Copies of this chain bind each other. A is one copy, B any other.
Amino acid sequence: MLIKAVTTRDARFQLEPGAGSDAVHSSPEYSFAVTYLTLDSGLRGTGLVLTMGEGNDLVCSAIEKLGTQLIGSDIEELMSNFGERFRTLADDPHLRWLGPHKGVVHLALASITNACFDLWAKTRGQPLWNLLLSLSPSEVINLLDLSYLEDVLDRQTALELLVEQQPRRESRTGILERGYPGYDTSVGWYHYDDDQVRENVQRSLDQGFGAFKLKVGGSLQRDLQRAHDLRRIAGRAATIMLDANQQWSLPAAVIACKELASMDPYWIEEPTHPDDIFGHQQLAREIDPLSLALGEHVPNRVVFKNYLEAKCVRFLQPDCTRLGGVSEFLTVSLLARKYGVPVVPHVGDMGQIHQHLVLFNHIAMGHPEAFLEHIPHLNGHFVYPAEVSGGRYRTPQEPGSSSELCE
């Protein structure tokens, strides 16, 4: 089962007007820089990372540069010690300069990594969640690169975190039948007008959703009006998240969060620059008990370690299409488990891969029951789109990571 080819696809999808818009990304064209890994048998693994359109080709070029190093590898052998290979790729002596561990080259590594996991699950004939659950704790740890985490999560600590959860795994498998709640991000894009938001929320409620996200970061007056509108329509019991997508300065964030607290948001997401750890720490103190969430633009485990040490984020939103793929997502999930912070992924993959990962996080790591963002705009482009019914994600059964795109 040798990898004989690494190829890419620059897949770009036009969205309906307003869809995907936020205060910072005004006119996204959801795009995937796709890695295809083909075995000598012809079986193919697909890896995804998201971009906003322009520049997707840069990630594809970087995939081609990095990915050739996998040609000739046996997939089982590769995955028996993937963490080591991950580190070698992440620390490529030339390409590392372009990060390190961030930006275009790290997105490329993510796409490659995701293709490795997809291919591996397909060769095993299992959905990714099932493959991950079938591994021993040390096999899981072998998938991870724990370098630069030695002070808080060395191999032994990571192993113990998994081993101590083993007796409780069985009691958690009910989630595989029941599914788990999704939350609907597609109701409240930034450039949707008020009528459209109202219609969307009503439709989403009718479909069974009880949790919604609204984009903010415009004038505070507009933000407040829209947030309270949404609360009125969705009701007191609904879970509503507000997302500023980094639009605010720190002083503006303090003011806006305090005002927006009046509509009882579940969290405020990405209030300001994703690199500003002390800024978030100060903000969290000033707006307590309001909760902050972030992670979609946090590029690697080292920055997540810092956010966790700063104790300012109540919901961690790592994304396996921003971090170095499934591998670093699992590393960050373990880190978060150690710090007792729930993982609620951002879904650059539209939930396709993360629907597998949150099952593993809950059952094998003991994270709280899954709760996952839902963005349906690209459903028609996946061979096996995530099934969300009655507002709940249903467990995928096809082999692989559900990443396959229609041709």
Task: Find A276's partner among B27, B104, B305 (CB 8 Å cutoff).
Answer: B305
A94 in the interface (beta carbon within 8 A): yes
- Chain A 147-162, CB within 8 Å of chain B: the 1/0 string? 1101100000000000
Give every chain B residue within 8 A of A58 (Cβ-Cβ). Answer: 58, 61-62, 98, 104-105
| Residues 57-78 of A contacting B (Cβ, < 8 Å) | 57-59, 61-62, 65
**How far, in whole Å, are A303 and B273 apart by their CA atoms in the complex?**
10
19 extra interface residue pairs, beta carbon distance < 8 Å, beyond A28-B93, A58-B98: A24-B93, A24-B96, A25-B94, A29-B94, A51-B98, A53-B94, A54-B92, A58-B62, A58-B104, A103-B103, A103-B104, A148-B250, A148-B276, A151-B250, A273-B302, A275-B300, A275-B302, A278-B306, A278-B309
Chain B: CB-nearest residue to A272:
B148
Per the bound structure, the CA–CA distance linking A92 and B147 in Å amounts to 33
Q: A91 touching B24 by the CB < 8 A rule?
A: yes
Question: Could you tell me if B299 and A96 are in contact, using CB atoms closer than 8 angstroms?
Answer: no
| Contact between chains at B100 and A55 (CB < 8 Å) | no
Q: Closest CB of chain B to A319's CB: distance in Å?
A: 12
Given known contacts A276-B305, A278-B310, A306-B275, A55 and B93 CB-to-CB distance under 8 angstroms: no
On chain B, the residues within 8 Å of A282 by CB distance are: 151
Q: Nearest chain-B residue to A150 (Cβ)? A: B249
Q: Is the CB of B251 within 8 A of A277?
A: no
**What are 20 A-to-B residue pairs whose CB atoms are below 8 Å?**
A26-B93, A50-B97, A51-B98, A52-B96, A57-B61, A58-B105, A59-B98, A61-B61, A62-B104, A98-B104, A99-B102, A100-B274, A100-B297, A103-B104, A104-B104, A147-B249, A150-B249, A275-B299, A275-B306, A276-B302
Decide if A374 is an interface residue (CB 8 Å cutoff).
no
B150 touching A251 by the CB < 8 A rule?
yes
Q: Which residues of B contact A29 (CB under 8 A)?
A: 94
Q: Is the beta-carbon distance between A55 and B25 smaller than 8 angstroms?
A: no
Q: Which residue of B lies closest to A146 (CB)?
A: B249
Chain B residue at minimal CB-CB distance from A246: B100
Distance in Å: Cβ of A190 to nearest Cβ of chain B: 11
Q: Does A106 sit at the interface, judged by CB under 8 A?
A: yes
Query: CB of A122 within 8 A of chain B?
Result: no
A215 touches B (CB below 8 Å): no
B-side contacts of A55, CB under 8 Å? 62, 65, 94-95, 97-98, 105
